[in-house]
Each structure stands twice: as structure tokens, then as C-alpha cells.
Amino acid sequence: MPSFLLKTEPSEFSFQDLVKKKRATWDGVTNAAALIHLRSIAKGDTIYIYHTGDEKAVVGVARALGGAFEDPKRPGKTPEGKPKFAVVDVAPVGPVATPVTLAAIKGDPRFAELGLVKQSRLSVMPVPGAMEKVLREMAGLGG
């Protein structure tokens, strides 16, 4: 099953906020490359939440409640007929046992091809299966 990493600035919307709210619509993504990845999120996909700013670490796990859909606040289609500004509903699964810091990710060559490392400004990116396994180990998550 595919998994993804979503970045957020915790002072605006943190993983803890998601836990409190029980579910949230992940919106506000405007970057074209990030939107391409966002649109590929499907129901049940695992989502890793990364905090930028002072924390710079993967702090929690969430799940997509459905597939990406058109942002009702910003309707519009791409020339291909896809939602221009896609959003996705997510629910928290739980915090990681051990936050996985950006420094740790950058220091591990197995993450060299991860979007977080290659393009620091990308806010939505796929996490390939092999990397997800490493990430889960570092985060102290089972399976």
C-alpha cells in the first residue's frame, strides 16, 4: 500500500491538532508538484506527518479517510479534468514512538532519493516501500 509524507508547520496545524480534532481536511497545498502527489492519495493510504520549523521531524502517523478530492473552497479543474486544488481527509493513527529528525533522515543514505532530502520545499511526497520500512524502524513503529 502506498504511503506519503505530509509536511506541516506545527504553529499552524500540528499533528497534535489532528489528534484533538480526530479528523481534518488537509488543504492549503498550492504547489504544483505537491498537488500531483496529493491527488494520488487513495483511501486507506498511510500518511506520515512531518513538522517543519523548530522540530523538523516525523512525529505522527495518519490515514487517508478517502481519496483526494476537489477543495470546495477553491473549485477548479486542471486541463486534464482533475481537481486543481486537491485536498484529502485524514485521521490520526498515533504518534511515533521516536520522532525521526530531518538530520537523521539526511544522515541515512537510504533516504537520499526521498523528496524531503532532494527538494526541501516539497510539502507532499510519496514514501517508497523500502524507505517506509526504514522510517518505521527508526520511528519505533511495528511492522
Structure letter (DSSP) for residue 115: H
Contact letters for DNA, residues 19-48 (x by CB under 7 A): -----------xxxx---------------
Residues 44-83 within binding reach of DNA (CB under 7 A):
52-53, 56
Of 1 and 80, the one with the shorter C-beta distance to DNA is: 80
In the numeric block, which cell numbers belong to residue 66?
478517502
Q: Binding of DNA at residue 113 (CB under 7 A)?
A: no
Of 55 and 70, the one with the shorter C-beta distance to DNA is: 55
From CA 110, how far away is CA 133, in angstroms rounded? 11
Q: Which residues bind DNA (CB under 7 A)?
A: 7, 9, 30-33, 52-53, 56, 102-103, 106, 118-121, 123
